[in-house]
Amino acid sequence: MKLADLDIIVTAPPAPGWGGRYWIFTRLTTDCGLTGYGECYASSVGPAAMIPVIRDVFARHMLGEDPANVELMFRRAYSAGFTQRPDLTVMGAFSGLEIACWDILGKALDRPVHALLGGRVNDRIRAYTYLYPTAADHTLPDFWVDPAMAAESAVAMVAKGYTAVKFDPAGPYTIRPGHMPAMSDITRSIAFCTAIRDAVGDRADLLFGTHGQFSTGGAIRMGQAIAPFSPLWYEEPVPPDNIAAMAEVARAVAIPVATGERLTTLAEFAAVLQAGAATILQPALGRAGGLWQAKKIAVLAEAHNAQIAPHLYAGPVEWAANIHLAAATPNLLMAETIETEFHAALIGHTIRIEDGHVIPPTAPGLGIAFDEALARAHPFTGSGLHLEMQEAPVSYSAPNIFAGGAPTD
């Protein structure tokens, strides 16, 4: 069995667009007619530039290869261009292709992917969700800065069975290096933690996100302010490329630090663990190198007594890959989940969420029924990147409003 053909589908999720402006799906076909689907989570360049990168990685390193040889193909993509170091765009392209290989392998062997990664150790995957508008009066952008609305959304999610909710009220993220939070942003963050904790009590963990926006001192200051509410994690409190600063924050703040959505390959995650910068790793499988790299990251984390919480701000194919990894990972903490009708419909409602937990699929491969017609019926025609950071600095006089990652174009 050899890899013979590649197709790429760029899909724009309809409003409200939770999951980003576009999702890049890959479909690989073998010489014997088996197909597999993957998803690339690489937002450094737009789809018009990303598509040729994906095609180049496939043609150079994977075309004509046995899809079982994922380690060999990874070594080619990682090293062949005299690189041999993490490259976010190349690894994003490879990740989506590698996930599709596992889908093919599972179908060829009539086994779910998690059975090929060491077998299932988790029958139910604890899920968490961002707080999104859940009521008619949860209007945007007001929802993102209103603690009462956030608390109402948290109650609705707990009623569905979720035991952890994530929110990021500390202002927008910018292209600039880490900044000191405005006092008003600290006040709002305390208000969010207060309102949500009062609303859900001990029925759910609070997950505090920041998108890497703070200076070291600013992150410590914010972390100390929210620590009394016992968040389960403090996500990416400083820019993810500054591991030493993240380690300093981890030592100074009594909240577990989580990071990983913007990291790729074992090399970057290993550096985080070695520095003591985080005890919760959040690989996004469409960027981190695919399922095999993610499995290695999970094993390394286990040796450091750290846990895995796969990240998701993408489409349902990456989510499916995350769930298979989660099912086979003993040091799993939880997995991010986005519940929209479009996410579910794109994979034929093949992965179930029950009482705030995801049930790993048992059908061969990723266990999904990908709806190509639906994916192609929503082409991306915009010009923005998957996620974008603002150029303007934060304000210390006017309110700072983070748009929640929701597309505005």
Residue 387's pLDDT is what? 86
Structure tokens at 221: 């200051």
Residue 404's pLDDT is what? 60
Q: Is residue 405 part of a domain?
A: no
Other beta carbons within 10 angstroms of residue 359's beta carbon come to: 14
One-letter amino acid for residue 134 of the chain: T
pLDDT beneath 50: ranges in the chain: none
Question: Kind and range of the H or E element at 358?
Answer: strand 357-359
Residue 184's pLDDT is what? 94
What distance in Å separates the CA atoms of residue 400 and residue 393, rounded to the nearest whole number? Answer: 10
Count of domains observed in the chain: 1
Here the CATH number for the domain that contains residue 289 is: 3.20.20.120
What distance in Å separates the CA atoms of residue 52 and residue 331, rounded to the nearest whole number? Answer: 37
Give me the DSSP letters along 218-257.
HHHHHHHHHGGG--SEEE--S-TT-HHHHHHHHHHSSS-E
Query: Could you tell me where the beta strands, DSSP code E, fall in 287-332?
Result: 307-308
pTM for the whole thing?
0.96
Give me the DSSP letters along 143-170.
GGG-HHHHHHHHHHHHHTT-SEEEE--S
What distance in Å separates the CA atoms of residue 117 and residue 287, rounded to the nearest whole number? Answer: 19
Question: Kind and range of the H or E element at 327?
Answer: helix 316-327
Residue 185's pLDDT is what? 95
Query: 27-33 long-range contacts, Cβ below 8 Å, gap at least 24?
Result: 27/100, 27/370, 27/372, 28/3, 28/58, 28/67, 28/97, 28/100, 28/101, 28/104, 29/3, 29/4, 29/5, 30/1, 30/2, 30/3, 30/4, 30/67, 30/104, 31/1, 31/2, 31/3, 31/4, 32/1
Q: Is residue 50 part of a domain?
A: no
264 in Cβ contact with 288 (< 8 Å): yes
Domain that holds residue 245: 116-365
Q: Is residue 238 part of a domain?
A: yes
- Beta bridge partner(s), residue 30: 3
103 in Cβ contact with 365 (< 8 Å): yes
- Beta bridge partner(s), residue 36: 28
Pairing of strands 280-281, 307-308: parallel
Pairing of strands 233-235, 205-209: parallel
Reported as a single tens digit per residue, the pLDDT across 263-278 is: 999 999 999 999 999 9
Residue 398's pLDDT is what? 86
Q: Which of 58, 57, 46, 81 is nearest to 3 (CA)?
A: 58
Q: Is residue 157 part of a domain?
A: yes
Residue 390's pLDDT is what? 86
Q: Is residue 258 part of a domain?
A: yes
- Beta bridge partner(s), residue 130: 166
Cα 332 vs. chain centroid, distance in angstroms? 15
Q: Is residue 325 part of a domain?
A: yes
Distance (Å) of CA 216 to CA 164, 208, 233, 253, 393: 26, 16, 17, 11, 17
In the chain, what is the greatest distance between 2 CA atoms, to the nearest angstrom? 63
Q: Is residue 171 part of a domain?
A: yes
Phi-psi region of 157 (alpha: psi -120 to 50; beta: other; left: phi over 0): alpha
Distance (Å) of CA 357 to CA 112, 161, 162, 196, 229: 19, 8, 7, 21, 24
Reported as a single tens digit per residue, the pLDDT across 347-377 is: 999 999 999 999 999 999 999 999 999 999 9
Give the list of residues 6+ apart from residue 202 with CB closer than 8 angstroms, or none: none
Other beta carbons within 10 angstroms of residue 108's beta carbon come to: 17
Q: Is residue 75 part of a domain?
A: no
